Amino acid sequence: MNETIQKNLEYKKYVIDSKLQYFKPHASKIEKTFAEEISFSLNRNTKFISPKFFYDKKGSDLFEKICTLPEYYPTRTEIRILQNLQDELPSFIDNSYRLVELGSGASVKTRLLLDIFTKSQEKTEYFPIDISEILAESSEQLLQDYDNLHITGIIDTYDGGLEFLKNYDKKNNLIIFLGSSFGNFSHIDGENFLEKINSTMKSGDLFLIGLDLVKDTKILESAYDDSQGITSEFNLNVLSRINDELDADFDLNNFSHYSIYNKDEQRIEMYLKSLVNQSVIISKSNLSLNLKKNELIHTEHSHKYTLDQIKTLLKKTGFNIIHTWLDDDTYFSLTLVSKN
């Protein structure tokens, strides 16, 4: 592996071969951020852990399992929409586009878009951006299946990836953000994030966003609390990660997964509930944590939207709506936009 320091971007560059390279912040920066963020988010009355910390190797694998669960409709519904979009998307992009993906994960749905790109391009460029190391594994798998694919992976936060992309070159980008991961943002953070994407885009760039729609409470609640307990395992795994990486002593038997749909706020709220009065030490965050019985640690919001709200939000943040694709049940939406 050839490693070169990218001083100006604070990234290390890993060139695997002529078709695959990654950029990654230095390890010390990543660990420091994790310890500091946990110290801040757990050392307060309303405790929370950012959902971006779910995705260590085990968390990413558990998320892939969630995607196959009968209760978890978002993945199979979005895949169905992407399949239907195969004939229509090519009329909006020409051969000059590169595919950029925020939160690419296992890049499973990406394949439906890469099918379109690689069919019409001699060389297709794909820039996955993901905080999880799963990016490396999924990139290697993609390269086994697509001959004319060239991958530049950015193993970093969405914000880091967008900074990386800004002014990168003059090539047109189709930026995709699937899985309704956008729903994890609060309304204000979401608007700021969309404005950031908008300011990263050049004229000619396109953005495709997958958003989950408001629906029956039962369907929503069972998608985030499945009968096999995989979502529960995924939620609790963040405590194991803190134990392993920040030298902490969470006893997972003393916590349970709790999720509920808040109709007024149009969001699934996911928590870890403390089952007893307990104290936990998180050494690398310099934190001694006292939790009361039934106290909640918030771990994720997953906002749901109406089609009108999506239109208003995208227009407000500087986009022109080009097209919205839906499934037959109107469970999920994919919206293609350009910059105003």
Ligand X SMILES: C[S@@+](CC[C@H](N)C(=O)[O-])C[C@H]1O[C@@H](n2cnc3c(N)ncnc32)[C@H](O)[C@@H]1O
52: contact with ligand X by CB under 6 A:
yes
97: contact with ligand X by CB under 6 A:
no
Q: How many residues does the chain have?
A: 340
Stretch that binds ligand X, among 3-11, 55-63, 91-99, 278-286 (CB under 6 A): 55-63
Candidate residues 157, 200, 235, 333; the one interacting with ligand X per rule CB under 6 A: 157
**Residue owning tokens 């006292």:** 290
Stretch that binds ligand X, among 28-36, 104-112, 227-235, 326-334 (CB under 6 A): 104-112
225: contact with ligand X by CB under 6 A:
no
Stretch that binds ligand X, among 138-146, 178-186, 216-224, 255-263 (CB under 6 A): 178-186
Minimum CB distance to ligand X smaller for 79 or for 280: 79
Q: CA-CA distances (angstroms) from residue 95 to 125, 146, 334, 335? A: 11, 17, 22, 21
DSSP 217-247: HHHHHHHTS-TTSHHHHHHHHHHHHHHHHHT
Minimum CB distance to ligand X smaller for 134 or for 291: 134
Beta strand extents in the chain (DSSP E only): 2-6, 11-17, 20-25, 47-48, 97-102, 124-129, 149-154, 172-177, 206-212, 255-262, 267-274, 278-282, 287-291, 296-303, 319-326, 332-339
Q: Which amino acid is present at 166?
A: K
CA torsion 101-182-37-62 (nearest 10°) is -70
Minimum CB distance to ligand X smaller for 105 or for 153: 105
183: contact with ligand X by CB under 6 A:
no
Dist. CA 302–CA 225, nearest whole Å: 13
Which two tokens mark 335?
Answer: 């919206």
158: contact with ligand X by CB under 6 A:
yes
Min CB(254)–ligand X separation in Å: 26
Min CB(207)–ligand X separation in Å: 14
Minimum CB distance to ligand X smaller for 146 or for 158: 158
Question: How do strand 206-212 and strand 2-6 relate by DSSP bridges?
Answer: unpaired
Min CB(13)–ligand X separation in Å: 18
Binding mask 297-326 for ligand X (x = CB under 6 A): ------------------------------
132: contact with ligand X by CB under 6 A:
yes
Which two tokens mark 316?
Answer: 């407000």
Q: Which of 288, 340, 334 is nearest to 113 (CA)?
A: 334
Interaction site with ligand X (CB under 6 A): 52, 55, 60, 63, 67, 75, 103-105, 109, 130-132, 157-158, 178-179, 181
